[in-house]
Amino acid sequence: MTAPFSWIRPEPRGIHVVPADIWIDPSRAVPRALVTHGHADHARGGHGATIATPATLAIMELRYNTREGAVAAEYGETIALGGGVTATFLPAGHVLGSAQILLEHAGERVIITGDYKRAADPTCAPFAVTPCDIFITEATFGLPVFTHPPIAEEIGKLLAARTANPDSCILVGAYALGKAQRVIAELRAAGHDETIWLHGAMEAMCRLYEDHNVPLGDLKLVSDAPSKDAMRGHIVIAPPAALNDRWSRRLPDPITAMASGWMRVRGRARQRGVELPLVISDHADWNELTRTIGEVNPQETWITHGREEALLRWCELNQRRARALALVGYEDEDD
């Protein structure tokens, strides 16, 4: 008889499922990996075999050329990993294809959330609350100060800035995977049907989203604009790194915006020269994190990937067993 949950072992470089010898989101190449979603801190090339949702595999193929050893797991499908362990991929509501992974072994149930959020997102399936014994949650925004406003408010600010500045363009910095497409889809939902101009680095991922039934409307590349004037009064979307580089000189009097949960922190916006901070995140905020732990109601919560201390304290105050894990290499500085 082995000790409860000794089959799942958090190591600095990922979570190891011992009887199946398989790793979750490992930060180095391993023979077999389960990958929650396509962001670079979770998905890496070079694994012998990668099990992930079809959309995550498509994203990984686009970004890392990982075609070999890809094994697709649909949401809700349970697959045997060997060693008496099964895995079921469940929607995480973070980005297209993102999954929580439910692992079961000897009657014990463990969920690894990867990154997740609870707010509605037209570009991906919503987070599925699922009972388990151990809930391993991210904590990127695990401080009470982090509350994300409704996205409609932030999209409203963006559209208002555009109307107020017809001779400029509004340049929005947004993560190329997930955030950019969500901002575009929310602009469309708000009735904005004009051309949205894209940095070249956004093009392939936007096309991938459209191929996965996420319509994004009329998109054009900045490099294809007939003139600067064609972009006046328009919205331009670029990766955060492009906001202050030479590339932006081709834009007509850009007003710099950025869509990130970190925009809640004024100093961060100032540091990056952001004039229009938009608090839009694909991670759970403090209220979503605590609400989710309450709804899932596990025997034990393991906290990783961010600011563990405050959430650990919250669990203690609420008579919930919890521990912080020391995994390395998972940070979402731009999200």
Q: Which residues bind Zn ion (CB under 5 A)?
A: 39, 41, 115, 332
Residue 325, exposed/middle/buried by CB under 10 A (0-12, 13-18, 19+)?
middle
DSSP, collapsed to helix, strand or coil, labels residue 159 as helix
- Considering the complex, what minimum distance in angstroms separates the CB of residue 27 from Zn ion? 11
- Considering the complex, what minimum distance in angstroms separates the CB of residue 122 from Zn ion? 18
By C-beta, is 41 or 203 nearer to Zn ion?
Answer: 41
DSSP, collapsed to helix, strand or coil, labels residue 303 as strand
Q: How far apart are CA 55 and CA 50, in angstroms?
A: 13
By C-beta, is 113 or 248 nearer to Zn ion?
Answer: 113
Closest CA to 256 of 133, 313, 174: 174
- Considering the complex, what minimum distance in angstroms separates the CB of residue 151 from Zn ion? 17
By C-beta, is 32 or 39 nearer to Zn ion?
Answer: 39
- Considering the complex, what minimum distance in angstroms separates the CB of residue 39 from Zn ion? 3
By C-beta, is 233 or 329 nearer to Zn ion?
Answer: 329
By C-beta, is 245 or 331 nearer to Zn ion?
Answer: 331
Q: How far apart are CA 15 and CA 307, in angstroms?
A: 18
By C-beta, is 27 or 195 nearer to Zn ion?
Answer: 27
Query: DSSP state, 263?
Result: G
- Considering the complex, what minimum distance in angstroms separates the CB of residue 306 from Zn ion? 9
By C-beta, is 115 or 154 nearer to Zn ion?
Answer: 115
Q: How far apart are CA 229 and CA 255, in angstroms?
A: 15
Q: Are 256 and 240 in contact (CB under 8 A)?
A: no
- Considering the complex, what minimum distance in angstroms separates the CB of residue 332 from Zn ion? 5
- DSSP line for 79-131: EEEETTEEEEEEE-SSSTT-EEEEEEETTEEEEE--S---S--TTSPPP----
- Considering the complex, what minimum distance in angstroms separates the CB of residue 14 from Zn ion? 13
- Considering the complex, what minimum distance in angstroms separates the CB of residue 68 from Zn ion? 24
By C-beta, is 186 or 334 nearer to Zn ion?
Answer: 334
Rg over alpha carbons for the chain, rounded to the nearest Å, is 20
Q: Which segments of 140-281 are extended strands (E)?
A: 169-173, 196-198, 219-221, 235-238, 254-259, 276-278
Q: Name all contacts of 160-164 with Cβ < 8 Å and 24+ positions apart.
A: 161/255, 161/257, 161/276, 162/233, 162/234, 162/235
